[in-house]
């Protein structure tokens, strides 16, 4: 829903109601992931924003959204494999998706404006909604980033606590605990509970839509390859930082796609910045005086991806220096060098594509082969958080 949030917030601010259809679960080769959303305005020409299937079932979801706008009763609908009728409501890709459709307006969803503002600030927030089971289907709870009952802002300005209820205090407490763990990993999906909120049981399904800050991409080395990598990283949804110790090269004008450009020694900057399992570190300097101290720090962080540019000869020399610096074989095994997939890339732009391809492959568990040479499913389950 992140990609349509600004538009639907304008409808909400204007006092309009709209139907919001959200993908809650997918099976096999579904084209969109959980959290993908389509909204239909109840006013005027029934404007549509977003997508839940890339086009396969949009027409049916549009009609259902209008019905829900009228009735106010939320619906969980499954759309599956299309039959031989080209106009059948189904997914021609062979997948199956569950879509939850609800009516949204100021009265029923008073927190939407605060959620949009939090997402704009990069503040973690999640929306938990009962989508099936006994009790209040459509009941909604907004969980903010901190594990506290307070609704005051913390030291960093982030809001605390939660608002709304899913039906019972026990269910609220269980969901709050689970959601904060999901927020930390940036995960969106379904959690199941017993009828009264017990952790064991599947009588009741709660869909959790997490709006975590964008994962970070840290690019070290203010060279032309870094500009292309920053552009690719931004395209993939990363918050991109470019860092170099050379002030004359590390300028905002040379890296217009980066969210920030930092002038500092790379190892010093990395040691003082936040790194988590979703962070991507790209070392493009291929100069030992920068590389070795930087990688010594990087390989001891929880970063999900650490890649370094350079020839195989440069890589072998770099490994020797890192061993001398005291890094273990297990730590060195995390280094992906030469960086990127084997695409035969030469230019900065081609190299950026090969790095982006490796990030996608590692995230989803693909083979890296041409799809025409493979068999079985095209879309993979998430491999890395």
Domains and CATH numbers, the chain: 2-104 (no CATH), 112-211 (no CATH), 216-364 (3.40.50.720)
Contact 11, 18 (CB under 8 A): yes
User: Which residue ranges in the chain fall short of pLDDT 70?
Assistant: 28-31, 54-56, 81-94, 146-160, 377-385
Say which residue the tokens 């100069």 belong to: 287
- The contacts of residue 355 (CB under 8 Å, 6+ apart) are 229, 232, 282, 307, 339, 340
pLDDT for the residue 97? 87
pLDDT for the residue 286? 78
pTM of the model: 0.71
Compute the Cα dihedral for 8, 12, 14, 15 and give only its sign.
Answer: positive
Say which residue the tokens 């399992």 belong to: 277
pLDDT for the residue 155? 43
Taking CA atoms, 168 is separated from 141, 165, 353, in Å, by 11, 7, 49
Between CA 281 and CA 308 the distance in angstroms is 8
Beta-carbon count within 10 A of 35 CB = 19
Taking CA atoms, 3 is separated from 41, 209, 222, 283, in Å, by 16, 13, 30, 30
pLDDT for the residue 154? 45
Q: Summarize pLDDT for 34-70 with one digit per residue, the tens.
A: 999 999 999 878 899 999 876 668 888 999 999 999 9
- The contacts of residue 31 (CB under 8 Å, 6+ apart) are 53, 54, 56, 91, 93, 95, 379
Q: Summarize pLDDT for 221-269 with one digit per residue, the tens.
A: 999 999 999 999 999 989 999 999 999 999 999 999 999 999 999 999 9
pLDDT for the residue 366? 84
């Amino acid at each position: 829903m992140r990609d349509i949030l600004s538009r639907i917030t304008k409808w909400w601010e204007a006092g309009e109601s709209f139907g919001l259809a959200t993908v809650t679960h997918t099976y096999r080769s579904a084209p969109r992931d959980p959290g993908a959303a389509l909204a239909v305005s109840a006013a005027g020409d029934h404007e549509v924003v977003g997508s839940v299937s890339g086009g396969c079932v949009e027409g049916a979801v549009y009609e259902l959204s209008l019905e829900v706008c009228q009735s106010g009763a939320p619906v969980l609908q499954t759309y599956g494999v299309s039959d031989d009728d080209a106009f059948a409501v189904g997914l021609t890709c062979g997948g199956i998706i569950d879509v939850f459709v609800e009516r949204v307006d100021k009265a029923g969803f008073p927190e939407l404006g605060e959620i949009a503002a939090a997402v704009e600030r990069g503040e973690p927030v999640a929306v938990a909604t009962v989508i099936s089971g006994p009790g209040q289907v459509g009941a909604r709870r907004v969980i903010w980033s901190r594990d506290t009952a307070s609704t005051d802002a913390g030291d960093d300005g982030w809001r605390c606590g939660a608002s709304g209820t899913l039906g019972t205090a026990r269910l609220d407490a269980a969901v709050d605990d689970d959601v904060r763990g999901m927020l930390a990993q940036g995960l969106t999906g379904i959690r199941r509970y017993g009828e009264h909120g017990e952790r064991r049981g599947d009588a009741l399904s709660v869909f959790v839509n997490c709006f975590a800050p964008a994962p970070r991409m840290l690019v070290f080395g203010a060279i032309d390859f870094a500009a292309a990598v920053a552009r690719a990283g931004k395209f993939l949804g990363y918050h991109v930082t470019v860092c170099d110790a050379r002030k004359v090269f590390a300028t905002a004008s040379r890296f217009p796609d980066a969210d920030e450009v930092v002038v500092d020694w790379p190892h010093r900057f990395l040691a003082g910045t936040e790194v988590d399992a979703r962070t991507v570190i790209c070392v493009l300097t291929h100069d030992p005086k920068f590389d070795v101290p930087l990688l010594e720090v990087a390989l001891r962080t929880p970063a999900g991806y650490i890649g370094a540019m350079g020839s195989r000869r440069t890589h072998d020399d770099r490994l020797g220096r890192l061993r001398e610096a005291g890094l273990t074989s297990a730590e060195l095994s995390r280094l992906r060098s030469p960086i990127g997939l084997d695409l035969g890339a030469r230019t900065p732009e081609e190299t950026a594509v090969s790095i982006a391809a490796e990030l996608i492959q590692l995230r989803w568990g693909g083979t890296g082969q041409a799809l025409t040479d493979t068999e079985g499913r095209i879309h993979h389950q998430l491999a890395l958080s």
